[in-house]
């Protein structure tokens, strides 16, 4: 059985080393599994403390994806096992040991990447979605290529844009973050840079040229100096300018649609839009097919997280993820989209008009822990 994450250290001309981690599960589009997260957490932690490691790089194996999301098969099995208990045990947010372990480790890892003490380059080639966005969002230097596709499409599986997405989407231009969270709309390279999901566009064919240039640099271990070295190499190898993407072209329209007074009004406006734009049509279709409860959660999370610290956003989302697994539409979404693939989910709510703020407050946003007992209590402290 092959190792799900490959690690290597590249020598540099002046003696420092570059740590390279490669997600190695091409058959699942490098979807993040619990085993992957454990390996990454251990090695990246060790590299952070090693004074001879100047730079850390995270990439995906193959040409299709950096990381297409989380590996949901074991999560689904654990959800079914919890449901089989019946009664209140089937709805207890802390009643799913696997989900607790997976989400705690994933959230802790992604927070550590946001606060990594060394330059961290994420090479986001191909598909970057869901859990892949969580791994990429915190990188100091985020590269996309001419074929990258980025999205947070969790509304389609009854979850919500998670692993810090409430922080990320609140920092996009205008109302674009809300639109992306509700519709799961996919972004190519130009739009990914426009909304702040990526920093540089580099041709995939130039990847090895970039890596060779990084090995030829005089890394010092001084953060500001080394960040600039990395930035200069990426800028020197930048892809030729790309035309504006559909999000930027429709930016004013998106601000108008998502500037309505309530979630039902926003959703009705998006779904009622008459357009020939295929990108907007796909966004409409995804929103229409997605879980209304997930749209409510995504909307309310952006409101709740707007003034929170990064650590508090991670703590908030972590609890919501467990509630979604135990009491939300997450299991049904995985079944319909990934397991049975019938694409006929039976959502808890028929529309966002039924998925009210009162429901979310009572069922989804109730924390499974007190502040002191939260497994992520130490983040940022």
87 annotated active-site = no
**Which residue is catalytic, options 124, 126, 130, 131?**
131
CA dihedral of 276, 279, 284, 286, whole degrees rounded to 10: 150
112 annotated active-site = no
154 annotated active-site = yes
Distances in Å between the Cα of 187 and the Cα atoms of 127, 141, 246, 272, 273 are 10, 18, 8, 22, 20
**Which residue is catalytic, options 71, 154, 191, 300?**
154
Residue 314 contacts residue 88 (beta carbons within 8 Å): no
Radius of gyration for the alpha carbons in the chain, expressed in angstroms and rounded: 20
**Which residue is catalytic, options 19, 70, 138, 245?**
70
| Residue 303 CB contacts under 8 Å (≥ 6 apart), including other chains | none
3-state secondary structure of 192: helix
Distances in Å between the Cα of 297 and the Cα atoms of 154, 294, 301, 313 are 11, 5, 6, 14
Distances in Å between the Cα of 192 and the Cα atoms of 50, 63, 85, 171, 318 are 32, 19, 43, 13, 25
**Which residue is catalytic, options 162, 317, 329, 332?**
162
15 annotated active-site = no
Residue numbers annotated as active site: 70, 131, 154, 162
């Amino acid at each position: 059985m092959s190792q799900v994450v490959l690690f290597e250290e590249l020598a540099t001309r002046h003696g420092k080393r570059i740590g390279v981690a490669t997600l190695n599960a091409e058959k699942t589009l490098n979807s993040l599994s619990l085993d992957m997260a454990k390996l990454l957490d251990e090695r990246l932690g060790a590299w952070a403390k090693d004074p001879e490691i100047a730079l850390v790089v995270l990439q995906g194996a193959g040409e299709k994806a950096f990381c297409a999301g989380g590996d949901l098969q074991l999560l689904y099995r654990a959800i079914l096992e919890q449901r089989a208990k019946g009664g209140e045990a089937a709805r207890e947010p802390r009643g799913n040991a696997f989900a607790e372990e997976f989400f705690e480790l994933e959230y802790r890892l992604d927070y550590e990447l946001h606060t990594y003490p060394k330059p961290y380059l994420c090479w986001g080639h191909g598909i970057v979605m869901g859990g892949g966005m969580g791994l990429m969002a915190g990188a100091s230097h985020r590269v996309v290529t001419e074929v990258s596709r980025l999205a947070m499409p969790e509304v389609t599986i009854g979850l919500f844009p998670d692993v810090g997405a409430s922080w990320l989407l609140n920092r996009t231009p205008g109302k674009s973050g809300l639109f992306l969270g509700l519709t799961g709309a996919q972004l190519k390279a130009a739009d990914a840079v426009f909304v702040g999901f990526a920093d540089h566009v580099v041709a995939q064919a130039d990847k090895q040229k970039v890596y060779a240039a990084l090995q030829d640099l005089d890394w010092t271990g001084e953060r500001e100096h080394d960040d600039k070295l990395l930035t200069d190499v990426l800028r020197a190898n930048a892809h030729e300018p790309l035309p504006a993407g559909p999000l930027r072209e429709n930016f004013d329209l998106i601000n108008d649609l998502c500037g309505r007074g309530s979630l039902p009004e926003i959703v009705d406006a998006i779904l009622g839009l008459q357009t020939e734009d295929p990108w907007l049509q796909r966004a409409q279709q995804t929103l229409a097919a997605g879980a209304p409860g997930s749209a409510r959660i995504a909307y309310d999370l952006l409101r709740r997280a707007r003034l929170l610290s990064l650590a508090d956003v991670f703590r908030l989302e972590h609890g919501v993820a467990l509630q979604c697994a135990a009491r939300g539409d997450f299991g049904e979404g995985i079944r319909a989209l990934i397991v049975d693939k019938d694409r006929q989910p039976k959502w808890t709510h028929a529309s966002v008009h039924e998925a009210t703020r009162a429901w979310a407050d009572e069922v989804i946003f109730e924390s499974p822990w007190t502040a002191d007992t939260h497994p992520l209590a130490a983040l940022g402290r």
